[in-house]
Structure formats: C-alpha cells, structure tokens
Amino acid sequence: MRKIRKRMVTVCIVITAGLLLLAGRLADLQLFNTEHFGRHHINLIEESVQQRTQSVLINNGRGSMLDRNGTSLSGGDEPSLVLFPFIRGLDWPGKEISRITGMSEGILISLVSRADEPLILAKKDGAELTPNDLDQINSLKFPGIYGVMVQTSSAERPAPHLTGFTAEMPEVMKTRYPEKKLPVNTKIGASGLQKAFDEFLLPESETRLLYHVDGNGNPLFGVNVKYIADSSSHYPVQIKTTIDEENQRVMEEILSSSPIQKGGAVLLDIQSNGILAMASKPELDPNGDGSGMKNYMLESMKPGSVFKIVTAAAAIESGLDHPSARYNCDLNPYGAPEEDRQLGTLDFDKSFSRSCNYTYNILSNELIKKDPDYLEKTAANLGLLEPAGWSGPVFHYSLFKQLPEEKGGTVWKDERDKGSKKAVAQAAIGQKDVQATPLAIANMMASIARGGEKMTVKAVEEILYKNGTVMYRFPDQEQPGPSIDRYTVQKLQKLLRLVVEDEKGTGSKFRSLPFLTAGKSGTAETGKKDVSGQNLINKWFAGYFPSDNPKYALVVLDADTVASRASANQVFYDLAAAIGSGS
C-alpha cells in the first residue's frame, strides 16, 4: 500500500511538473516573448494575424533603383487585376471584367473557382490593362475585385552584378541592424549597390490588400477588404544611378553573343566619370554554384601589356623616350630570340603601338636604377593601386563606399624581386605580381583622355525621396594623391592614338570605326591551363573614343581564355561601334 501511494505521489509530481512547464511555455509564448520568439525573434502576434488573413502584396516598401534618366532598373509597377477567392460565392460581374481585361469570362470563372489565395492577373496572364482600365474596374465597386498597380521585378533586369540582389538573411540582418525591429522575412541587400545602399533602401512599411478568413478560407466580418499603405511622401527612397539603360542593354546583348565566358566590360562617361554600363560574365545567379557571383569588373586581374602605359609614363617623365633610340624587337622580354613574334627594330613610339616587350625590359631596368619604387609610384599616380570608386562622408557614415566590393591593385608582393632583372622586366609588361581591376584601368583611360585630371568613379548620382526631391547628391570628387604631369599625358594620348593609327599597331582593327579611337591591348599569362592543356590568358583592350573629342572610356576583359578564341578586341569594336554611333 505504501509503495502504491509512493508511486501515485511520484506520478502526481511528474504531472504537476509537466503542467508547470507547459504553463511556463504558454506564458513565454503569450506574455513574455510574443514579439521576439526564438532565435529568429519571430513576432508571434504578427504571425497569428497572418494565419487568419489572405493578402496581396502590392509593394514591399523597399526603395528602388533608377538609371540616370529616371528609368526603373528594378522592375516597376504594372497594371493588374486582383480577384479574391471569396467572390466565387457571390454574383460577381464576370462579363464586365472580361470586357475590360480582354480575358475570357470562362477562364476567369475557372481561375477563381480553383483559387486558394488572391489572384493577381497582369499582362503575362492575358490581362491587357491600362491605368484607365483600373479606374473602370474600381468603379464597379464590387468587394473582392480591384484594379491596382502591382510592383514587379524583372528577371532580366539590367546591370545585375552592379546593382546586386536582395535575400532573406535573418542572422545577417540581426548583425547588420541590431537596433532595428524588422520582420524576420525582410529581404536585405546581399551584393552590389543593393548591399552598399541597404540602410537607405530598407522598407518602412508594405502596401497590401487584405481580408480576414476563417478556417475554411471564408471571409470574416463580411467581405471587408482593407488597403494597407504608408502615406509618407518621402519613403521609400530611390537610388538614382549613373547607368544608362540603353547602353547597358547594348553591352549585355553584345557580351551574351560573344565567346567571353569570364570577364566583361565597363563603360565610363569621361566628363562626369560615372559608370554608364557595366557587365560581368558568368551571369549573376544567386542560386547557382557561385561562379557567377563575382563582379569581375571590380576584381584585380593581371593586365598584361595594358600596364605598359605605366612604364611608358615613367620613361617619359624620366626623359627616356628618346626619338633616336632603337630597340631590337626580335628579342623576347629577357633578351633572347623571340621565336613567335618578329617585329624588327623599333623606336619608342612604335614599340608601344606594336607592344614590343624587349623595349620595356631595357626601359624598366634603367628606371629601377634611378628609383627602385618608380613602378608603384607611377601606377599610383595613374590611379591603379587604390579602389577607384567614390568614397567619403555621407550622413552618419564617416567613409561611405559606393563600391565596397572593389579590390585594389598591386605591383610587387616581394620587394626583393626588384633586384632581379627578369622580375623587373615581367612587372614592366604587367606580369609577375602586377594586378589591377578593369574599373581602375577604365578610370586611368578616362583620366588620360581628360588631360590628366584624376576623379573617383561614381555608380550613383543621387539619393531621392519618394516625391523626387534630393536627399543627398554625391559630389564630383578628385582622386587623392599626385598625378602625372601635363606633358606626359599629352605624350600618352599620342601613343594611345598610334596603337590604332599604326597599320601594324595592336589596335589597327579600330581604324575602320567611323570615329577616331585610342587605346592599348593587353595579353597576360595566367599560369593556368584548360582541360586540353592549352595556356590560359587574360586578353584586354582598354581605350577611349572619339579620341579627338573624348566621351567614353571602355575596357573589355576576356579572362582565362585561350589565344585562339580571345575576343576582347572584337567585343570592344562592337561596343564602340554601337555606343559611339548612337551618341
């Protein structure tokens, strides 16, 4: 009897403890942590309301991006018909809706009869609507039928690598905005300008149509549909970029039809130094294997002979550009016979236009005797070592970067290599440890075209309030540090023109363009091979046009390719022809 009583007491204690734990759990859910439950800080009140409602998201409240002319780069608002499922139990005006939308009444009835949640019908569904059609739909004043402008996001939006994308990242959001109370499913900037300007773009509130339902999906409180929206005239903001949508589309189309698999192109407006177009390959795919996530226009790469601009500038400033000097260009960079490329004896100018490597062996080893740091000093003066993107104080940011993913450039990794003639010769032609981003090279070209004026590159011109007034305008900004002298710039301009004008120059192809062009080619050995054992190279062409009245600086990179299919020159030609002819 005593054992039975002891067991009963034990069972009662266990049951009581369980009830207390359950009561504590319920108290935690309903009293203490209802607005920030669990590690993701879920708002249980909001979630319970959502379970009892059906809604249509009209606009997520996140700020948008515009091109330089005010055209949306992130979709837009599309005239749409919204049909709530509960109308199937009512005598709704199907014939009128059919007449306005151009959709079959039978199809409309079928869609509504099978719907479990509100339907949004737009152009892709066969509903050809205009803003005037929306007024006609709403004039019917039938509950559950609405004509609204619904936010859209194009799957083929322009400049995806530059503008970036958003994603649900609760842990990142918590770390990035520890003081903000944002819904756990809020999308935040994951890359590009979406990430850089994320705090400005964060949604203040969503715009929705919603109604409450019972367990069977039938409306509670009659058929009262509510329109929930923020009436602010200031938010969400708009980020006005420097992108020209037409030039961007042209660039993407030409790159897509080219053999380039890795690399891309960047186009700058020389006067404003804004990015008019930027595209990277492989294409951006946040759900892929990660190969397309990098924007190669912001990545440091071996520049090859494009870097001869730096060595030539140093030689000019040191007085080594003697008109009478001659170089044996049948020799390779190290002075041995060149088997594949016989150029003969050339002067300083022709050595540049025809890209003679041996000349730069001689020049670089003379220069480094005068100044062991000449190469990195000149590269810095031409803006190749520091990130080129705009940075500076903006509101509470002491150093806001428009392009925070941009890398810097390098010349030497080991100072001891300056004592090796071969290493010096390699660095002088953009090999060894030399690296620069396509954006920095485009910026160098723009600076030379402007007469030597160094500026940072802008991807965004203004942050605008919802009503179009300016929240912040990014000023033009000089790139810090000294620059090359005026005479050197003029001589470089002449050399870059000669690359095209010389019938044997590496850019002679561009003589057939309907305007004058200046530039420099580059071929860099990467030290890698493809699956068939062929050497992989980085093939470049960087330049500006028209060279007599410069408007555009353009760089094209075909990275990790084989020589037989390298297409940087052809893509540069096609882009220049399309963009220059339309200006």
Q: Which of 72, 191, 258, 305 is catalytic?
A: 305
CA distances from 304 to 62, 307, 432, 441, 487 (A): 43, 6, 9, 12, 25
Q: Specify whether the CB–CB gap between 230 and 207 falls below 8 A.
A: yes
d(CA 426, CA 537): 15
SS3 of residue 468 by DSSP: coil
205 included as an active-site residue: no
Sheet holding 238-241, edge to edge: 64-66, 238-241, 460-464, 470-473
Q: Specify whether the CB–CB gap between 500 and 522 falls below 8 A.
A: no
Question: Which residue, among 254, 272, 270, has the nearest Cα to 544 in the 3D structure?
Answer: 270
Which tokens hold the place of 357? Answer: 């490597």
Describe the crossing of helices 357-370 and 374-381 by its angle, rounded to 10 degrees. Answer: 100
Which tokens hold the place of 391? Answer: 């940075």
For residue 100, the surrounding DSSP H or E stretch is helix 94-101
Q: DSSP string of 525-558? A: EEEEE-TTSPEEEEEEEEEEESTTS--EEEEEEE
CA atoms within 13 A on the CB side of 191: 17
Parallel, antiparallel or unpaired: strands 64-66 and 238-241: parallel
Parallel, antiparallel or unpaired: strands 76-83 and 145-152: antiparallel
d(CA 437, CA 460): 19
Q: Specify whether the CB–CB gap between 230 and 205 falls below 8 A.
A: yes
* DSSP 8-class letter at 325: -
Question: For the chain, what is the largest distance between any 2 Cα atoms, rounded to a whole number of angstroms?
Answer: 121
SS3 of residue 195 by DSSP: helix
d(CA 130, CA 124): 14
Which tokens hold the place of 219? Answer: 């409306």
Parallel, antiparallel or unpaired: strands 391-394 and 345-346: unpaired
The residues that are catalytic are 305
